[in-house]
Amino acid sequence: MKKILLVSFFCIFLLAGCGKYGEEDVIRDFSKKVEDVKAYYIEGKLELVNNDDVYHYDVEVSYQSDDFYRVELSNISNNHTQVILKNEDGVYVVTPSLNKSFKFQSDWPYSNSQIYLLEAIVNDIKDDKERIFKETKNGYTFTTAVNYPNNRNLVKQKIELSKKLKLKRVQVYNDDSVICMTMEFDKIDYYPTFKKNYFTLDTVMKTYSVEDEEVKQTGSLSDSVYPLVIPSGTKLTNEEKVTKDNGERIIMTFDGEKPFLLVEETANIEDDFTVIPTYGEPYQLMDTLGVMTNNSLNWTTNGVEYYLVSDVLNQDELVEVAQSIGVVQTMK
C-alpha cells in the first residue's frame, strides 16, 4: 500500500512539474529577460495614424543601465531625424537639422507608456491586473491598458511575443478600437557595445549634422494655416502678421468659451548649437517630436514652427487642435 501511494505522489509531482507553459511563466521569463540586461539596442519601424494621414518612422533605441537612453526617430517621407536623449544631465529633444535642442527637467520615460522601450512594455503587462493573455500558433499576446496622460484617447495595447519570447510588435488602440500606433521590432540586441560618450549631446550632434538633411527654410509665410478642429463656442477673432529678424510670424487669437493662441513662424537654423531649457515632456505629434506642457504644445514641421497655448484647453484638447492643423490652407 505504501508503495502504491509513493508511486501516486511521484506521478502527481511529475504532472505538476510538466504543466502547461502559461501566462505567469511568460511574464516571469520575459520580465527577467528584460530586467537582467545591462543594455539593449533596438531597430524597428513606427507607424502613426491620424485620421486619414499615416506617418512612418525608422526607429533606433539604445539603452544602457543607469538610465541612459538614446531614441532616434527618422521620418521616412522627408528623412528628418530627431533624437530623444537621456543622460546624467537631463532629458533632451534634439533637432539636428535646426541646430537646436530642448532640455527638460523631466522623469521621462517613466511618466507614461512607451511603445518602443522594453522595460515600459514589461511594466504595462505587470501593472494591469485585468490584462488579457492568449497563446497563439506563433507565440503569445497580451492586451493591456496604457498610460498616455497627454492623450487619453489611447486606452489599450496589444503586445505580441514569439514562442522564444522575442518582442515582435506592439499596437496601441483608441477607445473606438482603432489602431493609432504600431511598432514593429526588427532587431533586438541584448548585448550591445556602445562607444564612449555615445549618450552625450555632443556625440548626437556630431552624428547628425545640419548638412546631412535637406532643411526646408524660408524667410516668409505665404499663407496662414488654420486648425480644422476648433472647440465649440470659440472662433478666430484676430490675426496679425509681423516681421521678425529672420522671417515672419503670424499670431492668431481664438476667443470664446475655450480661447487659445496659435503662433506660426518661420523656423530658422541656429548659427551655433542652442539648448533651450523648458518645462514639460517630449511629445510625438504626427510627423515630428514636440514639447508638451500643462497648457501649451510647441512643434516644428515643414519649415514652420507652431506654438499653441491656452489657459483653458486641457492637454487632450491641445493635441486635438494641433493634429487638425494641416499643411493645406483652409477656410477661416
271-307: pLDDT as tens digits: 899 999 998 899 998 889 999 998 999 999 888 999 9
| Grid cell 506654438 in the structure block, residue | 307
Please determine, for residue 42, whether its predicted confidence score (pLDDT) is greater than 50: yes
Please state, in angstroms and rounded to a whole number, the distance separating the CA atoms of residues 21 and 15.
13
Determine if the pTM surpasses 0.85: yes
Residue 93: exposure state from Cβ atoms within 10 A (0-12, 13-18, ≥19): buried
Query: Which three cell numbers, joined as nine digits, stand for 230?
Result: 476648433
Residue 256 has pLDDT above 50, yes or no: yes
7-11, 216-220, 259-263, 310-314: least confidently modelled range: 7-11
Indicate if the pLDDT at residue 62 is higher than 80: yes
Query: Per-residue pLDDT for 10 more than 60?
Result: no
pLDDT in tens, 200-219: 999 999 998 655 555 555 55
pLDDT at 244: 85
Residue corresponding to grid cell 497563446: 135
Q: Where are the beta strands (DSSP E) in the chain?
A: 39-50, 53-64, 68-75, 80-87, 90-95, 100-104, 132-135, 139-145, 154-162, 167-174, 179-189, 234-244, 247-256, 260-266, 274-278, 281-285, 288-292, 296-301, 304-309
Contact by Cβ (8 Å): 13, 249: no
Rounded-to-integer distance, Cα 112 and Cα 192, Å: 26
Q: Which of 216, 113, 191 is nearest to 159 (CA)?
A: 113
Rounded CA-CA distance 259/137 in Å is 53
Q: Tens digits of per-residue pLDDT, 158-167?
A: 999 999 999 9
The residue among 279 and 181 whose pLDDT is bigger is: 181
Domains and CATH numbers, the chain: 23-211 (2.50.20.10), 234-266+293-323 (no CATH)
Give the tens place of pLDDT for each residue, 88-135.
999 999 999 999 999 998 889 998 999 999 999 999 999 999 999 999
54 falls in which pLDDT band (50, 70, 90)?
very high
Residue 17 has pLDDT above 70, yes or no: no
In the prediction, which pLDDT does 251 show? 97
CA angle 67, 73, 77 (to 5 degrees): 175
Give me the chain's average pLDDT, please: 89
| Order of all β-strands in the sheet with 179-189 | 132-135, 139-145, 154-162, 167-174, 179-189, 39-50, 53-64, 68-75, 80-87, 90-95, 100-104, 274-278
